[in-house]
Amino acid sequence: MEIQVPGMKQHLDAEGVLILHFDSPGERVNLLNAELLRGLDALLDAARADRSVHAVMFGSAKPGMFVAGMNVAEIAGVTDAATAAEGARLGQSVFQKIEDLGKPSLCAINGTCLGGGTELALACTFRIAADDAGPIGLPEVKLGIIPGFGGSQRLPRVVGLTAALDMILTGRNLDARRAKKIGLVDRLVPAAYLSREGLALLKEARGEGPEAVARRLRRPRVWHQRALEGIGPLRRLVIDQARRKTAEKADPTHYPAPFRALDAIDAAFTQPLSTGLDTEARIVGELVPTTTSKNLCWLFGAQTELKSSAVRAAAPRPIRRIGVLGAGIMGGGIAQLAADKGIPVRLRDLRYDAVLTALKTAHSVWDYKVKRRRMTEAERGAKMAFIAPTLDTSGFGQVDLIVEAVVEQLAVKRKVLAEIEPRIGARTVFATNTSSLPIGEIASGAVHPERVVGMHFFNPVHRMPLVEVIAGPRTSPEAVATVHSLAVRMGKVPVIVQDGPGFLVNRILTLYLNEAMQLLLEGVRIDAIDRAMLAFGMPMGPFALLDQVGLDTARHVGGVMVEAFGERIGGSGSMLDTMIGDGEPGSEERPGFLPLSRRKAQTSRQRIYQLIGDRRPRGRFHRRRSRSAWFWRC
């Protein structure tokens, strides 16, 4: 065929199968863009007209990478609804041509298949995947939009209402096995046989007819699924429930995308495909120009850049296994995450009960997935086996990197480093999870200070995306690069920072939390402040966050910041001192900002107001002295 498409290789085999391989030149990933889509559009017209083409097979020339979606920079550059909707219609019409080809089409997914990649696959007659392929999904809501190339219409038709809701509303990706289980993929094959099996399937389709092969490959929907989708009131019940659940997690003013995705999914069951596609394009047009989408696209770009190897100054050491010192909240979390990613972990604590608690907590994190059928019990068992607990230092000689997560005291951290250094390999990296201590000081007594580096995870480790990688004054570029690449492997966004007080996050956070406490001291109620920040778009109010961080930790970090910056940073240390007092956390003498139960809410709040010396009556408008804003005192 004469038509050349940039970013795509083509070949017509002897059996009349037009093999189209995505291959963006000079790039690590295959991305769709308007130019490629227009080229593909013309190519599909030619393939339809060409009698020597009997079938079309899509694949990729890049290992482990099918198509990672539309180029986000292109989406970010669109600022008006009409252009955005037009862009969606272009993709829709090209993929519709695949569906209307009049010849069988097959998508051979060999790895990452996201957004437009998945939408292209959904338009094909068959989808097969390598058994190690993935992530597969429609993550558009994470960019503040909805799938716009037919995904919101075809996915519900292919996998059913509940599975489609789960994928589209959360933007969650699947591995190939799960994609097969929900019916998104028809057949799994070993990666090496992907092409061969694809061609074989197309041959079967030519002999038996595509419908007969599809019937053989696909399980019919079970009766209750059909009932949910086919009976209007039942379907609306499911969609309303999904809307309520979404509203618990996101505010439609700040995050309209999942709510609009629900409207599009509803259309998939109530409108013919062509009308549904039109609804989808209109919603895309509405969402693309919003500030939310622009900010999320920027965030995506920034995160991608931070993960890229270009930010590293040296090559990382390969990590085969790691050691974790301290099995508390953080050490346990880090061990769980490493095991989840298939990295063997030696986990040490001085206390038997700490190790047991860490194992129990790790089990419960996976249990959450098992209960939601995102993981089998056998998989959980296999992951648990990656954590090898110990009370001594045995096994630490074999690890490539150690994450230290013992208590936040300089003397203890130095002692732990001095104790482990003679027992570890010649190039083992020592990463400390300190939240506030200077890396330079932790490393000052070390034999190899160049191997000491900060790796600051946030709590809870399995959920918080950021990891600060802190280069001390003597840390080697190799140690920084190793921690950076480990963080990426653990699914985190690493940000490389200098060894300054508060690093990056606490430097910003301290000011924010101080301001919240200052407002409280000036008479604004806890609930009002938290609510105001939630309405502003924060995922959690400052006092809810303070409770989660822990008052002692907040006091300690605040102290470090005040010591470094003095009046510049201000501080609410005395208030926290008063609140911390001598009481145990959660006790009546020492209430948290957010009471554990509703019943205790009033007394807990009153106690805090009393502790900070606030005796003004509640329930009045109150004008702050130092600022002009009015706040409702609840």
Site of interaction with ligand NAD (CB under 6 A): 325-331, 348-351, 354, 405-408, 412, 416, 433-435, 458-459, 549, 553
- Options 119, 229, 280, 468, the catalytic residue: 468
* Least distance between ligand NAD and beta carbon 585 (Å): 12
Q: Kindly state the helix (H) or strand (E) to which residue 19 belongs, with its residue range.
A: strand 17-22
* Least distance between ligand NAD and beta carbon 265 (Å): 38
* Least distance between ligand NAD and beta carbon 72 (Å): 30
Strand segments, DSSP code E, in 87-240 are 105-109, 112-114, 126-130, 136-137, 187-189
CB 392 within 8 A of CB 348: yes
Q: CA-to-CA distance for 589 and 582, rounded, in angstroms?
A: 8
Which of 115, 96, 131 has the alpha carbon at shortest distance from 29? 115
* Least distance between ligand NAD and beta carbon 406 (Å): 4
Measured from the CB atom, is 329 or 511 closer to ligand NAD? 329
Q: Which residues pair with 429 in a beta bridge?
A: 401
Return the number of other C-beta atoms located less than 10 Å from residue 147's C-beta.
32
Measured from the CB atom, is 313 or 412 closer to ligand NAD? 412
Measured from the CB atom, is 348 or 462 closer to ligand NAD? 348
383-388 contacts, C-beta under 8 A, 24 or more apart: 383/339, 383/340, 383/342, 384/339, 384/359, 386/338, 386/339, 386/342, 386/343, 386/344, 386/345, 387/335, 387/336, 387/339, 387/345, 387/347, 387/358, 387/359, 387/362, 388/344, 388/345, 388/346, 388/347
3-state secondary structure of 503: coil
Q: CA-to-CA distance for 418 and 416, rounded, in angstroms?
A: 6
CA-based end-to-end distance of the chain: 72
* Least distance between ligand NAD and beta carbon 561 (Å): 14
Measured from the CB atom, is 110 or 435 closer to ligand NAD? 435
Measured from the CB atom, is 255 or 396 closer to ligand NAD? 396
- Residue nearest to ligand NAD according to CB distances in the complex: 328
* Least distance between ligand NAD and beta carbon 616 (Å): 33
Handedness of CA 459, 478, 317, 491 (dihedral sign): positive
β 429-432/345-348 pair status = unpaired
Measured from the CB atom, is 60 or 510 closer to ligand NAD? 510
Q: What are the start-end ranges of the H helices in 50-128?
A: 72-76, 81-99, 116-123
The verdict on whether 515 is a catalytic residue reads no
* Least distance between ligand NAD and beta carbon 361 (Å): 11
Measured from the CB atom, is 408 or 547 closer to ligand NAD? 408
User: CA angle, corner 563, sides to 559 and 565, nearest 5?
Assistant: 115
Instruction: Give catalytic residue positions.
Output: 468
